[in-house]
Structure 1
Amino acid sequence: MIVVSAASGGLGRLVVDHLLARRPASHIAVAVRTPERVADLAARGVQVRRGDYDEPDTLRTAFEGADRLLLISSPELDPGRRIRQHQAALDAARAADVGAVAYTSFLDADTRSDGVTAAHHATEHALKASGLPHTVLRHPFYSEGFLRPALQHALHAAELRDATEGRGLNTASRADLAEAAARVLSEDDHVGRAYDFTGTLWTYPELAQALTRVSGRPVAHCVRHVPAPGVQGWLEGQIRAGALERQTDDLARVLHRPPAALQETLTQLLAEIPVT
């Protein structure tokens, strides 16, 4: 039995789709806060169990009988609460005698305990201390998080502005990361490993060129000299510093193929976004 936690989210649903291509539906269960949100999965034969990261008793019941558990990290923004939620899930997994846990962490969480990696760093240590057999899946930023918000504006304005000074971004598509998780859950040679997943490196000038090819509309790249406000400005600063250029072959090795290229991901996203 494979149990996927937080399966009502975008990543979890994709993982379940990939698992259903590999295993009978009766061998797959999902643990979700609101079972009604995944009625479609129940209709496909997947076992739906209530499991709330803030209600530990529900987690133990949700994880019962799991040979493999995918612990998808909580979307909670407060690091302290997020750590408590993950610890509760690990305690429940141990109490339910789960066979092995795969945890969706973040790149550099093994060495950095600050910022976006703080809760992941603590959870990786808690996972080791739990004694549970486990696999760590360290994710980069999702490609969709950068590409989707930019597409409609770029196509409408015929330009793409950024302040990254041409430095590269290592991102990976949610679909590739979901397939990798499904492989880890359904194959036998991943327990005890920690993977640093990275996708295809790309730059904003390359993105403008790819948008032109995929959309058939000219999209010019323009350098923005004024820093963007808020989170976007922080991310651009990280990119300018080269913090998102790290690459490994871990994702390709788990997928047994190269990760999706920039143009491939753009083509998929453009099919979902109305272009006017």
Structure 2
Amino acid sequence: MIVISAASGVLGRLVIDRLRTRADVVAAVRDPARAPEGVPVRRGDYDDPASLRTAFEGAARLLLISSPELDPGRRIGHHLAALAAAADVGVGAVVYTSFLDADTVATGMTEAHHATEQALLRSGLPYTILRHPFYSDAFVPLVSDGELTGSGGGRGLNTAFRSDLAEAAANVLTGEGHEGRAYDLTGPLWTHPEVAQALGVPYREVPEAAPGPMAWLNARIRAGALERQTPDLENVLGRPARTMLSHLHATL
């Protein structure tokens, strides 16, 4: 039996869709009323360790989808509670959705993921770590007034679509040879000027509107921090990952 934590989220639902015909799958959710349909449901609330033990009971494999909590302290607490529950009930193996560079960077966006990875290594539980990039779904370029604009300096983005990351998780959960491994999952590199050219519209670089999360992220893009490439996602999928251009051609 495979248990999917945080299964009412977008990623959890996508993973369950890909597992329905491949394995016995159980959805663990904070609110059973919001659970995916068509699979057994258990209440598993990151704020309620006792519910996690009940939710994870009998799991041969657990997909520990990271908590949506943004505060690093609370997020770490959620993950540690889930790992403790998994150990208490003898979960066979844990697959954890981490973030790129969490193995080496312990601050900022990766703080909670770094702490969780270290705790998972100390736990003695068999594990696989899936380090995700930013989701392509949140970066799909939009043409406005006949042009495409951006603030990333034309540098590359290694984003990946949730659907591919969900399929990769399903493959790891149902496959063999993944225990004790960490995968750095990067999508095919793309740039805003490349997309504009493919769409037949001009590209214009624009200054940041104001300080904030997007300004920070665009600065990272301009510095080339999102250009890292590995073959891990393609290898786990057993096929090329979906590109931004193929997504745009399919949807326009």
Same fold, judged at TM 0.5 (above):
yes
Name 1:249's counterpart in structure 2: 231
Structure 2 residue aligned with 1:260, among 242, 247, 251? 242
Q: Which residue of 2 aligns with 1:228?
A: 209
Q: How far off its partner does 1:219 sit?
A: 2.9
- Quote the residue 1:164 is aligned against: 152
Q: CA deviation at 1:209?
A: 2.7
Equivalent residue number for residue 10 of structure 1: 10
Q: Could you report, residue by residue, the CA deviation over 1:167-214 in whole angstroms, capped at 9, with x for unpaired residues? A: 11110000000000000000111111100000110011012234x2xx
User: Which residue does the alignment assign to 2:107?
Assistant: 114
**Aligned residue identity for 1:199:** G
Name the residue aligned to 1:31.
28
CA deviation profile, 1:243-272 (whole Å, cap 9, x unmatched): 00000000000000111011222245x37x
Judge conservation of contact 1:127–1:134 (CA < 8 Å) in 2. yes
CA–CA distance in structure 2, aligned partners of residues 197 and 5 of structure 1 = 20
Name structure 1 gaps, 5 residues minimum.
213-217, 272-276
Moved over 6 A (4+): none
Per-residue deviation at 1:47? 1.0
Matched, 1:61 2:58: no
1:215 alignment partner in structure 2? none
Q: Name the structure 2 match of 1:125.
A: 118
In structure 1, distance between residues paired with 2:148 and 2:87: 49
TM-score if structure 1 supplies the norm length?
Answer: 0.88
RMSD: 1.3
Alpha-carbon distance between aligned partners in 2 of 1:219 and 1:16, rounded to the nearest angstrom: 38
The aligned runs of 1:209-220 (5 Å cut-off) are 209-210=197-198, 212=199, 218-220=200-202
Residue 176 of structure 2 is matched in structure 1 by 188
CA deviations on 1:20-53 (whole Å, 9 max, x unpaired) are 1322xxx110100011112x52xx2x11000000
Q: Which runs of no fewer than 5 residues in structure 2 stay unpaired?
A: none
Aligned residue in 1 for 2:41: 48
Following the alignment from structure 2 to structure 1, what is the Cα–Cα distance between the partners of residues 135 and 113? 16
Residue identity in the other structure for 1:143 = S
Number of the residue aligned with 2:164: 176
- SS, match of residue 26 in structure 2: strand
**Structure 2 residue aligned with 1:198:** 186
Displacement of 1:233: 1.0
Q: Between the two proteins, what is the percent identity of the paired residues?
A: 61
Normalised to the residue count of structure 2, the TM-score between the two structures is 0.96
